[in-house]
Amino acid sequence: MTDRPEGIEAGPHTADDGLYGPDSVTWRVMAAPAVGLAAGAAAMLQMLLPPVMYVVDQASSVRIRPEERAKMTGDYTVTITYGDVAAAERAGEQLRRLHATRKAIDPITGAAYQADDPDSLVWVHQALTWMILRAARQYGPSLTAAEEDQFVKEQREVAARLVGCDLEKVSENVADLNAYMDSMTPKLAKTTPVIWFKEMMVPTSIPKGPGDLVTRLFTHAYAMLMSKEQQELYGFRFNAFQRLTTVNGTKALLKAASSNSRIDSAIPAMRDYVDAHAFGAKRPRAVSVAAEAGPPTSWPS
């Protein structure tokens, strides 16, 4: 049965079940709060590939308007996941056009990079899929091996296609995805822009209140989702006590928001949000939900 909110059955961006649908693993996984952790960790991981980091540094607004950039990324992801077919396809088309205009130069070698470079597109897609599964294993939702493989397949068929990946290079199951990620380890590096990106993602300032403490907890959780080799490139060193307290503290904060009932209730809210704020839409439509700040979700930011 379609989990479509009442009152927007004929909405301009949620008129049908979209490219995944309510029976997909993706609908359940992407509504879980742990995806917020995965998104932060994936962003950090993706930047370790120099061509990607240089394009983001030189040809995006992430340095001066990181919140706006994060919202656009969230809008895109929610649109292709919970929007209807037309909205998802339109979002993919708009993103491909945007990537075609973004270029950068390696300051050391002079090599030219583009956002739509085939290998970079595959890396960004694979790193996100891999990290979402790592977050789900640590913080939920619990998936069987078959469901994990199905998630990888769904992401290949929809997300990878929409962004313009060469699908022959995109993994179809978890085993292939893990092999790909292992093969990329020698290509990762701590370039100069990675330093400011780390400072932005994992601030080292002294927490001044409960909100800052929660932010510190979640940003450390981002880092701990990466592999040991990836953490070392960023210069992260966590002892056993830090790992235990971070993971247990994060689990405690996410526990209430991770229940099946909470995840199920998040899906209609996300579809409501897409109906008003679909990525690439020509004219947003106002609906009852107040969601100007970003997709309605309990994900940590």
Please report, in tens digits, the pLDDT of each residue of the chain (301 residues total): 345 444 445 478 999 999 999 999 999 999 999 999 999 999 999 999 999 999 999 999 888 888 888 899 999 999 999 999 999 999 999 999 999 999 999 999 999 999 999 999 999 999 999 999 999 999 999 999 999 999 999 999 999 999 999 999 999 999 999 999 999 999 999 999 999 999 998 888 777 777 778 888 899 999 999 999 999 999 999 999 999 999 999 999 888 666 766 777 888 889 999 998 999 987 544 443 333 445 654 443 3
198 within a domain of the structure (yes/no) = yes
Which pLDDT belongs to residue 209?
76
1 within a domain of the structure (yes/no) = no
169 within a domain of the structure (yes/no) = yes
Could you tell me if 291 and 29 are in contact, meaning their C-beta atoms sit under 8 angstroms apart?
no
Which pLDDT belongs to residue 165?
98
284 within a domain of the structure (yes/no) = no
Query: Considering its fold, how many domains does the chain have in total?
Result: 1
225 within a domain of the structure (yes/no) = yes
Range of the domain at 223: 25-271
Which pLDDT belongs to residue 206?
75
236 within a domain of the structure (yes/no) = yes
Which pLDDT belongs to residue 69?
86
Q: Per the structure block, which two tokens stand in for 281? A: 């839409």
The alpha helices in the chain, defined as continuous H runs, are 25-30, 34-46, 50-59, 66-82, 85-100, 118-139, 145-155, 161-163, 174-184, 192-201, 210-225, 228-234, 240-255, 260-277
CA atoms of 156 and 160, how far apart (whole Å): 5
18 within a domain of the structure (yes/no) = no
10 Å CB burial of residue 189 (0-12, 13-18, 19+) is exposed
8 within a domain of the structure (yes/no) = no
